[in-house]
Structure 1
């Protein structure tokens, strides 16, 4: 090819337009080259049997296709890099990737990822992924039980681990993990659900319009039609398309313009992400129908209305492991209301959460988007790193509702030697009002969504009766395959692939451009005009998005808020009671009373460890928070104290929870029993008290009510108040010496 076809004659480098024009032309060639590489990458991924984007070596542990109820899922072990040291005593992490249109691997596609930070913290890691094509006939229930088999396998492989596996469920994988945890709670350590919708109707008017989509489309009949047109398969590219429709400015312009304008530096990052973004997978039509009917439109999970094939109700209140909810205000797919309002659906108060022995921790990012929750390096280095580093702290928290607050470590904190990373995590107690403060549906909104769900059932029944037989007869497997290839998202990759003869010249042209690259100066006025034009395009698309969202919301509210439609669909018009609430069980109340009676008999039982735990909780409860520094101090005591060192983490957790419940049941009697638990020797009591104070003051000096409670404990230990006040907060070295003397 002639050079003249790529570059104009020698430009006048003093002319701003000429220098801009040569740069713009070169960027266009390089942009086409990246698109061609993107197409080749897409073809390479599509040709692989098990395509994924994991940045780590793996070894297959369990193939779901070999199970009694076969599925296209599999369990692999992540092979740690040479510079990573794994502690066999630490609980393993199991990351479950979402099957929501894309292929697997996003939880570990770079070092700063969920898998990367977990291994950095010394944990063995496993990954649950899937193949592009489903096993014929597999259902969501089959996948849930396959994940149970995977967890059983992980537990068997780590008999020395101090705790059950921590399971991370991203987006769609989060609700399947929660369903399994409700059915098989004994398999789980802490559960981390990131960007996971569990309350599908929830939201705030004027924001997060994706929740209206089901009603505006007339319900799930369109899902059934799409599955039938796919000859029994639902094309995941449609799910990706729905996601892209939420941000037309980025989809139609910003993503590609960002590559074009930064072509010299952005290509590899862009291709790395597109390798995952273009890996579309399929689901069985039955799987997708369940997801839409039971979850997205029906919103039945949090209400306890989903049942397994044998009739077992899936009640999220059966979960016994701590649940960590990570969401973001910038996420328009899973906003905080959809991530958190299931708590309001299930519980009437925090006391009810405590009575069931449940621990729920949430953290809300201020601005990160949905994908950023899983792929952002900054999120991995902060939130996910802190979760991995402090997973044992989360596991032993007393039952209740907490918010995880992360603050920079800084240089002026108390006891920095107790902090392992760049952030300090503390879990602060919260109430249900804190969840309500994010906003949510009122009773009128609930009735609107209930009407949409009821109309969906009617429309689906009509489709199945009148149209489905004809559609299934016409949509043969070859027709369905051709339609999948013609999907706009797939075409956007395939048009730039190796089958396009019109792009054969691009590779050589791009190489010539790279050798003769003449980037424009940053202060070029035409470059500034380009940026201004781009901003105007983005503003126009954003205006279009806001207008269409406003119209969609007003249409939904008007149509499904109409009293005649609601009456015709049988929606209860009584606004004095909740429309939808998870049912209560009288058996749970009876079991709770039996448990309380059994615990009361243990108030005067135990020794120094029980007295220390009870005292620690008594003082700490009034502070309303648990700090990672305090837990690290406890961890050191547990490792050094003769009695505590014999406890497993599960035993230590049981000890702390038992003492916590004793204080809740009868605080006065529990405190009065402390002297009977302590050794008779005053010197031993003093050493035990000093250890207690060190732990309490590890995250800062005690003030007000907490200081008063410590004085009360000093009296119970038979330690004078003046001795408590006169002793300064000791350093780490003195603390270690006292721990050794007690042990």
Structure 2
């Protein structure tokens, strides 16, 4: 089967090939043939796995056992979604009194299960933390006629069911939405904010117009195809169904070096060890699903091209405005600089779209936390084991702490615990730290350009024109010719699907491959890594990868320049009615008169509560003031506060405690001077020993983060004087404590 080789140690071979190049070439040639055979066999297994997977009624790549609780097909507005309860693996203990944890899987061309794909996944992290865990997945085909709104309503119904299963838990479920599921969950939370606990959106494109020059090439796709008429055409050719393989193909085109070379060469070069990992990933990557034509049209028109979600322009069929400012739960946005599908500007641009400044966020009672990873790719955000062990573990462990953060904008950083003092208060290997940010700080990430807004607005207008022309002229003909049979044939012949099928056992030409592969495994001769020809192979592979990457950069640059030049033409903008617009192309709802009236009403309500309450309010107000506007910069202070909550108010629940923190923060933000001067009034009726105990408690909490800064120490001295002025028998104490620090 392989070339005859003389023993490398034979005298004859040494005489004929004194430098060993011939022996190295012969060994490399044998290894190359064997690796090629084994590689082809892995491709055959991949094809078989694909066919087996797509022929299942409920394909799923979940790595955990689960039971179906609610079948979305039985809801009043039926959908192809399901609510599953994750059964904890052996040895994992679940605390039914813990906050429920719900992972919503993205339906963006691939099948369900990616959030629980590995033990080190979002689901695995939640289970190890003792949370009851639920999973919202989907079936490969939509229910006829289902709409995006139906799916949103189904997710709301699922969440109600989860809450009903935990009547004794006061905390609302934590909900995780990956990629497409992220913006879908945000829509649901905007409609029913009271059902949601903290929300984690990972790699979710909420503001599709946003992006930096030289990156985010997918945002130009709508403009380069003339709008969404192509989406409508593919949906019509699919007889009302849209093949998710088209979406997967778009993802693959973003990185041709990885798609066409690196991923395959990695398997070929390490075929003895990489096969299992490769097949495991391909089971999900190749599990293409189908969307309804109406669903994908809604998504492309309203989110990708229209950018209406991040600007509060979406309205449900029953007249409810889908405004993300309605959210009352903390929102954690996790994104990465290495993500070319949902770069940070698209994940965070919605904050800038909705809010003029941080005061706007606070007035809307929103807590927004963001974390920008340096390198991981799109899938790595919710699949990578290292990310799950670090960022997702910290997000999950700190959700109660995030829930108590006062409204505002925060950036998080994950640091090693051993770098901090009081590491005995840190329960894990890492510490999640929070820093207050302003909306203006996001400009460095979002890189907003008004002239680009006008370009994307031009795309949206032109898309409406082209879609209207297609529906008038082309759609009747396409729909008349399309049939379920032709749609199935088109899906089978899609290049992404056909590649799996051709390299499977259903192709007679592959019948000899498993026999040859078995013979290779019985007599495998892997070449050493220091073989000169194997080293040369690696160099050539790197050159191929770099060449494809250079071509990608040239292609993306050409697309960007073409887009900017074409849609930046004043004449084209005038033809679609934009040059004469008095308003900015990107709608900002925060500037509307109704919103300003809301803020004024919020201030009036807060003003009325300045002197309401007692010692609990005085202590919390003081802690927040000294720490500069937040109850803590990391989990250590929160742990102190939570542990001492019983001393302040034994009957208070964690939810009551969180409400107390938020309320006192609002009061300080509204009028700091008046809020501080009201502290002695809040302490009236307290004895000297009680007041001293309150001061001791405050000092204990403040010490959790180490020594106070000079400014914080000055603030604490002011608080101390205010407390002393409230002691019985003290006269004139309030006047001595006056003055802003």
TM range (shorter): over 0.9
Is 1:480 the counterpart of 2:475 in the alignment?
no
Asked if structure 1 preserves the Cα contact closer than 8 Å seen for 2:112 and 2:138, the reply is yes
Is 1:198 the counterpart of 2:202 in the alignment?
no
What is the correspondence of 1:45-194 to structure 2 with a 5 Å cutoff? 45-194=53-202
Distance 2:83 2:619 in 1: 42
Asked if structure 1 preserves the Cα contact closer than 8 Å seen for 2:405 and 2:631, the reply is no
Distance 1:585 1:576 in 2: 12
Distance 2:595 2:225 in 1: 40
Tell me which residue corresponds to 1:669.
Answer: 674
Asked if structure 2 preserves the Cα contact closer than 8 Å seen for 1:327 and 1:336, the reply is yes
Tell me which residue corresponds to 1:368.
Answer: 376
Asked if structure 2 preserves the Cα contact closer than 8 Å seen for 1:605 and 1:677, the reply is yes
Query: Which residue of the other structure, out of 273, 278, 285, is the alignment partner of 1:265?
Result: 273
Tell me the alpha carbon deviations over residues 331-366 of structure 1, each in whole angstroms, 9 at most, x when there is no partner. 111111111111111111100110111110001011
**Deviation at residue 644 of structure 1 after TM alignment:** 3.3
> For the structure 1 residues 630 and 50, does the alpha-carbon distance in structure 2 shift closer, same or farther, using more than 3 Å as the test?
same
Distance 1:100 1:623 in 2: 38
Tell me which residue corresponds to 1:726.
Answer: none
> For the structure 1 residues 516 and 379, does the alpha-carbon distance in structure 2 shift closer, same or farther, using more than 3 Å as the test?
same
Unaligned runs of 5+ in 2: 9-19, 727-741
Is 1:700 the counterpart of 2:706 in the alignment?
yes
Is 1:560 the counterpart of 2:567 in the alignment?
yes
**Deviation at residue 313 of structure 1 after TM alignment:** 1.4
Distance 2:283 2:611 in 1: 62
Query: Which residue of the other structure, out of 485, 500, 508, is the alignment partner of 1:501?
Result: 508
Distance 1:645 1:263 in 2: 62
Tell me the alpha carbon deviations over residues 363-418 of structure 1, each in whole angstroms, 9 at most, x when there is no partner. 101111111111111111111111100001111100000001111112x5221121
**Deviation at residue 577 of structure 1 after TM alignment:** 5.0
- 1:52 match: secondary structure: coil
Tell me the alpha carbon deviations over residues 75-121 of structure 1, each in whole angstroms, 9 at most, x when there is no partner. 00001112212122221111101100000000011111011111111
Asked if structure 2 preserves the Cα contact closer than 8 Å seen for 1:429 and 1:625, the reply is no
Distance 2:576 2:681 in 1: 65
**Deviation at residue 511 of structure 1 after TM alignment:** 2.5
**Deviation at residue 420 of structure 1 after TM alignment:** 1.8
**Deviation at residue 672 of structure 1 after TM alignment:** 2.4
Distance 1:597 1:372 in 2: 46
Distance 2:696 2:272 in 1: 61
Asked if structure 2 preserves the Cα contact closer than 8 Å seen for 1:12 and 1:18, the reply is no
Query: Which residue of the other structure, out of 5, 8, 28, is the alignment partner of 2:3?
Result: 8
- 1:352 match: secondary structure: helix
- 2:28 match: secondary structure: helix
Distance 1:587 1:221 in 2: 36
Tell me the alpha carbon deviations over residues 438-472 of structure 1, each in whole angstroms, 9 at most, x when there is no partner. 24232211111111111111111111111111111
Asked if structure 2 preserves the Cα contact closer than 8 Å seen for 1:320 and 1:357, the reply is yes
Query: Which residue of the other structure, out of 195, 217, 229, is the alignment partner of 2:237?
Result: 229
Distance 1:597 1:482 in 2: 64
> For the structure 1 residues 179 and 576, does the alpha-carbon distance in structure 2 shift closer, same or farther, using more than 3 Å as the test?
closer
Tell me which residue corresponds to 2:692.
Answer: 686
Query: Which residue of the other structure, out of 386, 389, 393, is the alignment partner of 2:397?
Result: 389
**Deviation at residue 212 of structure 1 after TM alignment:** 0.6
Give the TM-score of the pair, scaled to structure 2: 0.93
Asked if structure 1 preserves the Cα contact closer than 8 Å seen for 2:348 and 2:446, the reply is no
Asked if structure 2 preserves the Cα contact closer than 8 Å seen for 1:406 and 1:423, the reply is yes
Query: Which residue of the other structure, out of 434, 437, 440, is the alignment partner of 1:433?
Result: 440
> For the structure 1 residues 11 and 25, does the alpha-carbon distance in structure 2 shift closer, same or farther, using more than 3 Å as the test?
farther
Tell me which residue corresponds to 2:738.
Answer: none
> For the structure 1 residues 401 and 623, does the alpha-carbon distance in structure 2 shift closer, same or farther, using more than 3 Å as the test?
closer
- 1:402 match: secondary structure: strand
Distance 2:699 2:403 in 1: 23
Question: What is the aligned-residue RMSD (CA, Å)?
Answer: 1.8
> For the structure 1 residues 144 and 11, does the alpha-carbon distance in structure 2 shift closer, same or farther, using more than 3 Å as the test?
farther
* Residue range with higher mean Cα deviation, 188-197 or 309-318: 309-318
Query: Which residue of the other structure, out of 493, 498, 511, is the alignment partner of 1:491?
Result: 498
Distance 1:579 1:383 in 2: 33
**Deviation at residue 11 of structure 1 after TM alignment:** 5.0
Is 1:649 the counterpart of 2:654 in the alignment?
yes
**Deviation at residue 578 of structure 1 after TM alignment:** 5.9
Is 1:293 the counterpart of 2:301 in the alignment?
yes
Distance 2:181 2:710 in 1: 45
Is 1:542 the counterpart of 2:549 in the alignment?
yes
Distance 1:473 1:544 in 2: 41
Distance 1:321 1:44 in 2: 41
Distance 2:594 2:587 in 1: 21
Asked if structure 1 preserves the Cα contact closer than 8 Å seen for 2:356 and 2:591, the reply is no
Tell me which residue corresponds to 1:711.
Answer: 717
Asked if structure 2 preserves the Cα contact closer than 8 Å seen for 1:191 and 1:322, the reply is yes
**Deviation at residue 581 of structure 1 after TM alignment:** 1.8
- 2:589 match: secondary structure: coil
> For the structure 1 residues 282 and 434, does the alpha-carbon distance in structure 2 shift closer, same or farther, using more than 3 Å as the test?
same
Asked if structure 1 preserves the Cα contact closer than 8 Å seen for 2:631 and 2:661, the reply is no
Distance 1:96 1:185 in 2: 17
What is the correspondence of 1:572-611 to structure 2 with a 5 Å cutoff? 572-573=579-580, 577=584, 579-582=586-589, 584=591, 586-611=593-618
> For the structure 1 residues 528 and 389, does the alpha-carbon distance in structure 2 shift closer, same or farther, using more than 3 Å as the test?
same
> For the structure 1 residues 176 and 439, does the alpha-carbon distance in structure 2 shift closer, same or farther, using more than 3 Å as the test?
closer
Asked if structure 2 preserves the Cα contact closer than 8 Å seen for 1:399 and 1:657, the reply is yes
**Deviation at residue 589 of structure 1 after TM alignment:** 4.2
> For the structure 1 residues 601 and 300, does the alpha-carbon distance in structure 2 shift closer, same or farther, using more than 3 Å as the test?
closer
**Deviation at residue 498 of structure 1 after TM alignment:** 2.1
Tell me the alpha carbon deviations over residues 286-317 of structure 1, each in whole angstroms, 9 at most, x when there is no partner. 00000111111111111211111112211111
- 1:362 match: secondary structure: strand
* Residue range with higher mean Cα deviation, 445-454 or 511-520: 511-520
Asked if structure 2 preserves the Cα contact closer than 8 Å seen for 1:328 and 1:368, the reply is yes
Tell me which residue corresponds to 2:665.
Answer: 660
Tell me which residue corresponds to 2:25.
Answer: 17
Distance 2:554 2:650 in 1: 62
Asked if structure 1 preserves the Cα contact closer than 8 Å seen for 2:126 and 2:133, the reply is yes
- 1:231 match: secondary structure: coil
* Residue range with higher mean Cα deviation, 10-19 or 295-304: 10-19
**Deviation at residue 682 of structure 1 after TM alignment:** 2.8
What is the correspondence of 1:292-441 to structure 2 with a 5 Å cutoff? 292-410=300-418, 412-441=419-448
Unaligned runs of 5+ in 1: 721-743
Asked if structure 2 preserves the Cα contact closer than 8 Å seen for 1:616 and 1:696, the reply is yes
> For the structure 1 residues 601 and 202, does the alpha-carbon distance in structure 2 shift closer, same or farther, using more than 3 Å as the test?
closer
Asked if structure 1 preserves the Cα contact closer than 8 Å seen for 2:330 and 2:402, the reply is yes
Asked if structure 1 preserves the Cα contact closer than 8 Å seen for 2:623 and 2:631, the reply is no
Asked if structure 2 preserves the Cα contact closer than 8 Å seen for 1:623 and 1:706, the reply is no
Distance 1:247 1:598 in 2: 53
What is the correspondence of 1:452-467 to structure 2 with a 5 Å cutoff? 452-467=459-474
Distance 2:572 2:264 in 1: 44
Give the TM-score of the pair, scaled to structure 1: 0.93
Is 1:529 the counterpart of 2:536 in the alignment?
yes
Distance 1:148 1:321 in 2: 15
**Deviation at residue 689 of structure 1 after TM alignment:** 1.9
**Deviation at residue 717 of structure 1 after TM alignment:** 2.6
